[in-house]
Amino acid sequence: MGNVIVIGAQWGDEGKGKIVDLLCGRADVVVRFQGGPNAGHTVSVAGRKTFLHHVPSGILHPERLCLLGNGMVVDPDRFLKEVADLQAAGVEVDGRLFLSRRAHLIFPHHRALDQAAEEQPEHRIGTTRRGVGQAYMAKALRVGVRGVDLDDDAELRRRLTLALRLHHAFKEAIPGLPHVTLEESLEAAASNRRRLAPYLDDTGGRLQDALEAGRRVLFEGSQGTLLDVDHGTYPFVTSSNTVAGAACTGAGVGPAQIQAAVGVYKAYATRVGEGPMPTEETGQVGEGLRQRGREFGTTTGRPRRCGWFDAVAGRYAARVNGLRVAALTLLDVLDASSEIQVAVAYDTPSGRIDRFPSSPAALSAARPVYETLPGWEQDTSGCRAWDDLPARARDFVERLETLLGVRFVLISVGADRDQTIEREAGALDALFS
């Protein structure tokens, strides 16, 4: 079968783009199943970086079919700009990049509400301000507009009228919310209908055809498990399900059609936006990780909050996603550290715990209990095999494996596609067999 889900196992930006690009060498189809322009995935090939927000990270492999699934919310302007940038860079997309007709579209009033809400301290989540949560809200309220709805003038007008009525009802709660007219929204829809036409498609049908033909499919997650709207650090989360289970609903396949989920963990912790982060280091340690890991947002350019690896959160993510295998990224960022900390439990007002709490207050009150591991203080960026890694780096990886209950089949020691270690010969083939 060989159909594999790749998901983020922390707070996003774990290096999913790199891992998907890498695994894509063995797959025929790559499908995104949730999120939208809030995602920022970086793929680096021979030193050249490509930043992707909507488009699956398989696009740099010629001939791979790249699908934007029904579970996504898509900003038409940003999607089309992304496609134009890829084309300008010589990437052929025609006939292999398709957007689900069932995916919801982000409208100007969604962005306006996201931006105005973020200006209100009591509403602030630290979102990417791209209207993602507002498009998912419209979806749940049954007033959203999907690609397929662009063709039905009467229904489009009816839906947008209702959506704008609700939008304007927010004015009282959110001062500064701009007024958006029906005409503006209909104009945006008309322009989107024309411009999106070459891409809109029955992606679920295409996916099923591919599966029936024995093609290998990669499911590319965005954000991370701790940002999942159900399983993350609610309310400081994104608005979609980011866990492996969401691949089925967001792409239109059944669980039995998928063989494995690969969690992507970075060797330390980062988070963008508000919300509890038990291992955050606000001083020099955090700044050191930020500089060495170049931890500035791909989507918004914001400095990411940095800290030590949190194995309590990591183990929780492994369980929620049913992970057995994983990829460990940005190991090289720890090359300069003489000592490395890993949180193995939390101290809380009611005692020591090793389970990830569901209450934001409990998580905010949690103080990490650290295990200190010796650093290897050697450059790992040139390592290409497990045995090339310094013994202490291998010890670190193995300690994380024990704490998380997963096996790292891939270890990444640099941004580039080839700066990767396959744990043992055949580990990736096994994943896809």
Write out the residues near ligand IMO by the rule CB under 6 A: 8, 12-13, 38-41, 125-128, 130, 132-133, 222-224, 227, 238-239, 272-273, 298
38 lies in the binding site for Mg ion (CB under 5 A): no
40 lies in the binding site for Mg ion (CB under 5 A): yes
310 is catalytic: no
Of 34 and 298, the one with the shorter C-beta distance to Mg ion is: 298
- Of ligand IMO, Mg ion, ligand GDP, none, which one sits near residue 333, judging by CB under 5 to 8 A according to partner kind? ligand GDP
Tokens of 131: 């209207």
- Of ligand IMO, ligand GDP, Mg ion, none, which one sits near residue 127, judging by CB under 5 to 8 A according to partner kind? ligand IMO
H or E stretch including 421?
strand 420-422
298 lies in the binding site for Mg ion (CB under 5 A): yes
Report how far residue 114's alpha carbon sits from residue 123's, in angstroms, rounded to the nearest whole number: 10
What is the pairing mode between strands 65-68 and 48-52? unpaired
Single out the segment in contact with ligand GDP by CB under 6 A; choices: 91-99, 313-321, 325-333, 356-364.
325-333
Question: Which among 293, 366, 296 has a CA at the least distance from the CA of 336?
Answer: 293
13, 28, 75, 228: which one binds Mg ion (CB under 5 A): 13
Of 16 and 64, the one with the shorter C-beta distance to Mg ion is: 16
Q: What separation in angstroms does the CA of 301 have from each of 38, 212, 264, 283, 296?
A: 12, 41, 21, 20, 5
41 is catalytic: yes
2, 15, 56, 357: which one binds ligand GDP (CB under 6 A): 15
Question: Which among 29, 49, 78, 12 has a CA at the least distance from the CA of 273?
Answer: 12
Of 128 and 420, the one with the shorter C-beta distance to ligand IMO is: 128
228 lies in the binding site for Mg ion (CB under 5 A): no
What secondary structure does DSSP assign to 279-347, as a single string?
TB--SHHHHHHHHHTT-B-TTT-PBPEEE-EEHHHHHHHHHHTT-SEEEEE-GGGGTT-SEEEEEEEEE
Angle at 312 between CA 310 and CA 317, to 5 degrees: 95
Local structure of 178: helix, strand or coil: coil
82 lies in the binding site for Mg ion (CB under 5 A): no
Q: Smallest distance from the beta carbon of 82 to ligand GDP, in angstroms?
A: 14
10, 34, 38, 42: which one binds ligand GDP (CB under 6 A): 42
Report how far residue 339's alpha carbon sits from residue 336's, in angstroms, rounded to the nearest whole number: 9
Q: Smallest distance from the beta carbon of 9 to ligand GDP, in angstroms?
A: 10
290 lies in the binding site for ligand GDP (CB under 6 A): no
61 lies in the binding site for ligand GDP (CB under 6 A): no
Tokens of 336: 């300069």
Q: Smallest distance from the beta carbon of 155 to ligand IMO, in angstroms?
A: 27
List residues near Mg ion by CB under 5 A.
13, 40, 298
Q: Which residues are catalytic, by number?
A: 13, 41
